[in-house]
Amino acid sequence: MTLAQPKSPVTLYKYFPLQYAQMFIEEGVVQFSSLSWFLDFEDAERGDEFEGTRKYFPTGGLTINNQTQGQTFTDPTRSFQSAAKERDHIFIFSTSTVLDASLAKAFATSSDEIVCVELGDIRKFTLRLKTALKRDRRGISKTFMHGAVSYYAFDGPPMENWALPERIVMQKLLAFAHQREYRFAFSTKADAFAFQNVELFLVPENGARRPRPVLDESLHRLRPKLGSMSDCCRLIRF
């Protein structure tokens, strides 16, 4: 089952600690993080061990066709997973289509005040973001995309999505559906979203978690500056 999000929201919302919200409005500092960064992040609202991965584990087990031996069998012990190969080079900036004080509370990980920035002019923000990425040699504007995230359950067939990194990037587990995420994404590699630019795995379903990567923050977080956003944003306190 996949839960689709509205495609053209009128307004977007970003939940921040107050100091970062002020930097966003006053200077247009937009913090992008790589897919791998969210794999490494341990916070329940931000971290996701399946970020950039489409997992399929149907009820009753995975049906496997052995073409070499001409056999079909069901494996109840492993899931099929397709991961965007360029996880280190695909960056996302997440917003939400809903204004909700409970989301602000969920994103609070310290004593810092969590506030919300309302993006009232999405078109203006998007154009400024694309311009900033063109100025930054690391940001390849041709890979830039944005849209609502859709949500899926493990037993939902991935269909053709397993081979399409740009769709994998725009999907998350149903457990995150309350966030109603709308994300902006780009890659520092031109072929990151190419057809079948993925890694395929059969993963044992024994409850073991994949080891967290050790990441250099300077390589996995990019901060383009758009200039003052005060003409299309406002600060909301809860």
Percent of the chain beyond pLDDT 90? 58
How confident is the model at residue 213, as a pLDDT? 62
How confident is the model at residue 21, as a pLDDT? 94
The three state secondary structure string of the chain is CEECCCCCCCCEEEEEEHHHHHHHHHHCECCEEEHHHHHHCCCCCCCCCCCCEEEECCCCCEEEEECCCCEEEEECCEEEEEEECCCCCEEEEEEECCCCHHHHHHHCCCCCCEEEEEECCHHHHHHHHHHHHHHCCCCEEEEEEEEECEEECCCCCCHHHHHCHHHHHCEEEHHHHHHCEEEEEEECCCCCCCCCCEEEEEEECCCCCCCCCCCCHHHHEECCECCCCCCCEEEECC
Percent of the chain beyond pLDDT 70? 85
Q: What is the pLDDT of residues 206-223, one digit of tens each?
A: 766 666 666 666 778 899
pLDDT band at 6 (very low <50, low <70, confident <90, very high): very low
Q: What are the boundaries of each domain within the chain?
A: 2-236
- What number is the average pLDDT over the span 168-175? 94
Strongest mean pLDDT among 69-83, 108-122, 161-175:
161-175
Q: What is the pLDDT of residues 47-78, one digit of tens each?
A: 678 899 999 999 888 887 776 776 787 888 89
